[in-house]
Structures are given as structure tokens and as C-alpha cells.
Amino acid sequence: MTLLTWVGGLHLHGPYRGWTLSLLIGANTSVLFWYKYANLGFQFYASYLSWRGHLPPTWERVGLPIGLSFIVLQAISYLIDVYRGQQQAERNGWLFATYIAMFGQLIAGPILRYEWVQSALLTRTLSVQGMRLGARRFMLGFSMKVLIADTLSPLVDALFAVTQPGFFDAWLACLAYSVQLLFDFAGYSAMAIGIGLMLGFSFPENFRQPYSSRSIQEFWRRWHISLSTWIRDYLYIPLGGSRVAPWRGYANLIIVMAIGGLWHGSDSLNFLLWGLAHGVAQAVAKFWSRMGLSMPATLGHFCTLLFVFLAWVVFRSPDWSTAWTLYRAQLGLSGWQLSDTTLTVLRYWHCLALSLGLMLALLPESVVSDIKQPGTLKRIWFYGGPVLLFLLSMGFVLSRQSVPFLYFQF
């Protein structure tokens, strides 16, 4: 794929460059579709055969290569930028291959564009300041992952496996997973950005306190920023964006978010439902704004969080039946009690991690942003605090079973 994209980028000129671009994008996406959606396609085929009264054939499950989704998005963005004339085709194959397989962020982002790293690939500067700041970001990201996300992981797994959850089970599952996913994914992004700084690269921020958003549009400007901007620049704008008729603009939002949902999931249609829900929410918010309507900031924040947290339920659930069971419980239709499973699994450190995670997630960005020019005592805490958190996290890593990054599965 790297060789094909590199050679193809060198030939994106002339009268047939549109066809060349289409073939190159098709080749990259076909690889992604096979490895990511072949199993889902077989499930539909097997269900069809069963409905017709036939036994389905044997099927060896197709494994998803690590990092494939991000490689494909980076390759497509490079090809489109070269086609548009926004990027010169890279003639050095080694530099291009380094961009595609960039160490640190390849597994779960942020999704890079070639123009962001092109100059650094040629003239990187390794500095003590870069190592110091990079190590600090890495240790903070590592601590986010281990102390909060990994601590909540067994609780989340148990809560989503409860067969008859009550009201408090369902809401605890929703809140715990919302915090786990944020600190797992944002923690990885911080680690990748830290590795980049240590190696002389400046990767873009991928999260900016998304749970402090006051609208669904603001949420997507703060959550997985590299993916949301990729969807905007390479899907939404080519479809016409907001320059078309209003109904077409609403449809474009729903379409691109549905594609974003499908990109996340290969084994369940729940990801498609999650994408559609976010697309509809963005369309409704756009219509609300077009009508000149508004709401108080506090109410907007509450409604945004409520929708985002509820949408995570279907995102995390293995199937629609599980999600529907939890939604019913959240409405109080399945009783109000805590299940025996929850009472058995729940520990005080789960409550501590959840409370700490919610507090940090809901803080305004200005409160948790890096201190630019700290004084002596603040400088000690600025660099010494992450070291202490990192050492504590290492103690947890050595004392319990490791938990994979959630975004490895995508």
C-alpha cells in the first residue's frame, strides 16, 4: 500500500489524473474493506443462508492488521492533497514510507497529514527542551491510561455484561465507560505526541477537554480532532458542505457521520447507529442555529453531555440487544437496584477513578492547559508531578493484568 500510494502520487498529473486518483483511493479502501468488513459481510451471508434453510459454509475469521485504518486515512489524505495541488508529490520513497509508518501514533492516532511532518522529516532538531516536554506529555498520557482508564476497565466490562441491569447499574456503566474511553484514547494521543516531541516532531493536539463542550458541533471540534477534521476536509466539503441547499447540508452531515461510525466498527452495526445518531444531532443543531435559536450555556453543556454519554452506550455494547437493555434500565423500566454483579465487582478505587476522571474531564481547558512560564515551585510541580504519577502508574502496571488500548480494535 505504501509503494502503491507513493508511486501513484508521482503520477497524479495529466488528463487522466482524476481516474488515477479514483483507482488509488479504491485500491487503498478495498484493502481496508476486506480486512475490516469481511467478517461482518459473512455474518449477513450466513444469516441469509440460515433464513433459506441452508447451513452456512465454514469461515476463517479475518484478522485486522494493527494500524491499518490510520494508514489508509493518511494515504488517502496525501493523495487528495497532491491531486488538489496543496502538496507536492514526495519523490523520496523513504521519507514517504516514514510518514506512513510514523512511530508512536500509528496505532491510534492522531491521524497525520504529510504537510505537518514533511519539513521535520528533512530537518529535525533534537533538543533537551523537546525531550523534557515530550517526556512530560508521555508520562501524563501514560498516567491517564493506567490510573483512570485501566482502573475502570474491569468495572465497565462487568457492568456491560449484566443481563438484567437496574437503573443505577445502567447509569454507572454509561458514566464509567464515558470516562474510560476518554482517558484511554486521550492518554494514547498524549503519549504519541510526547514521543513525537522527543524525536523532533510536532504532532497536532487530538483532544481539548471534549466533555466541556456546550454543543455537539463543539464536541467534535474537541474530540478526536484529527479524525473530525479529516472527515470535514475529505468527505464533508467535497460533498458540498454547507454551500448547498439546507436539506442537502443536513443530509451531508448525516452521511459523513455514518461513514465515520462505520470506520470505527467492523463486527457490529452499532457503530453505524452511533454515527447516524451523531449525524442527526449535528443536523438538528445546525437547523437550530439556522433558525436563530439558542439556549443557556449551562443547559447546552448538560444536553451535549447527556447525548454524548447516551450515545457511548450503543458504541460500547456488543449488539443492539445489550444497548436496548441498558437504555430501558436508564429510564427506570427495569428496577432501581444495583445488581449482585455490580456489588461484587465495585470497589472504592473504581469510585475514586470515576470521580477523579469526571472532575478532570469537566474542567475548562484553560484550567488544565500547560503552564507556559511557571515559577520555581510551579516548575518543580510542572515536571515533578508527572514523574510521581508515572512511577505510581508503573507500580499499578506491575501489580495487575495489562489492559489493551481500546482504539487498537479500530
Where in the sequence is the domain holding 73, given as residue range(s)? 2-101
The candidate with the shortest Cα–Cα distance to 5, out of 93, 75, 67, 55, is 75
Q: What is the pLDDT of residues 366-384, one digit of tens each?
A: 655 555 555 667 777 788 8
CA torsion 45→47→52→53, rounded to 10°? 120
Is residue 88 domain-shared with residue 162, that is, in the same domain?
no
Query: Is residue 160 in a domain?
Result: yes
DSSP 12: -
DSSP 403: -
Q: What is the pLDDT of residue 83?
A: 95
Q: What is the pLDDT of residue 15?
A: 83
3-state SS, residue 333: strand
Query: Is residue 277 in a domain?
Result: yes
Radius of gyration of the chain (CA): 23
Give Cα 406 to chain centroid, integer Å. 9
Q: What is the pLDDT of residues 121-160, one digit of tens each?
A: 988 889 999 999 999 999 999 999 999 999 999 999 999 9
Residues facing 333 on adjacent strands: 335
Q: How far apart are CA 121 and CA 94, in angstroms?
A: 10
Largest CA distance in the chain: 75
- Neighbouring CB atoms inside 10 A of 14's CB total 9
Q: Which alpha helices (DSSP H) does 244-339 contain, by range?
A: 246-264, 270-290, 297-316, 320-330
The candidate with the shortest Cα–Cα distance to 201, out of 104, 58, 68, 56, is 104
Counting every residue, how long is the chain? 410
Is residue 69 domain-shared with residue 197, that is, in the same domain?
no
Q: How far apart are CA 150 and CA 183, in angstroms?
A: 9
Query: Which listed residue (224, 264, 278, 301) is catalytic?
Result: 264
Is residue 171 domain-shared with residue 319, that is, in the same domain?
yes
Is residue 254 domain-shared with residue 391, that is, in the same domain?
yes
Is residue 65 domain-shared with residue 207, that is, in the same domain?
no
Q: How far apart are CA 73 and CA 222, in angstroms?
A: 19
Query: Is residue 285 in a domain?
Result: yes
What DSSP string runs through 55-124?
PPPP-PPPPPPTTHHHHHHHHHHHHHHHHHTSSPPP--HHHHHHHHT-TTTTTT-PPP-HHHHHHHHHS-
Is residue 156 domain-shared with residue 239, that is, in the same domain?
yes
What parts of the chain have a pLDDT lower than 70? 266-267, 365-376, 407-410
Q: How many domains does the chain have?
A: 2
Is residue 63 domain-shared with residue 136, that is, in the same domain?
no
Q: How far apart are CA 113 and CA 108, in angstroms?
A: 15
306's grid cell = 447527556
- Neighbouring CB atoms inside 10 A of 355's CB total 11
What share of the chain in percent tops pLDDT 90? 61
Ramachandran category for residue 373: left, alpha or beta (phi over 0 → left; psi -120 to 50 → alpha): beta
From 59, 83, 101, the end of a domain falls on 101
Is 264 a known active-site residue? yes
Is residue 91 domain-shared with residue 153, that is, in the same domain?
no
From 84, 101, 118, the end of a domain falls on 101
Q: Which alpha helices (DSSP H) does 123-199 contain, by range?
A: 128-143, 151-160, 167-198
Is residue 134 domain-shared with residue 52, that is, in the same domain?
no
Q: How far apart are CA 139 and CA 277, in angstroms?
A: 35
Q: What is the pLDDT of residues 173-191, one digit of tens each?
A: 999 999 999 999 999 999 9
Q: What is the pLDDT of residue 369?
A: 56
Q: How far apart are CA 23 and CA 76, in angstroms?
A: 11
Q: How far apart are CA 257 and CA 241, in angstroms?
A: 13
Query: Is residue 251 in a domain?
Result: yes
- Residue 374 CB contacts under 8 Å (≥ 6 apart), including other chains: 381, 382
- Neighbouring CB atoms inside 10 A of 336's CB total 10
Is residue 227 domain-shared with residue 294, that is, in the same domain?
yes
Q: What is the pLDDT of residues 303-337, one digit of tens each?
A: 999 999 999 999 999 889 999 999 999 999 988 88
Q: What is the pLDDT of residue 209?
A: 93
Is residue 59 domain-shared with residue 144, that is, in the same domain?
no
Query: Is residue 307 in a domain?
Result: yes
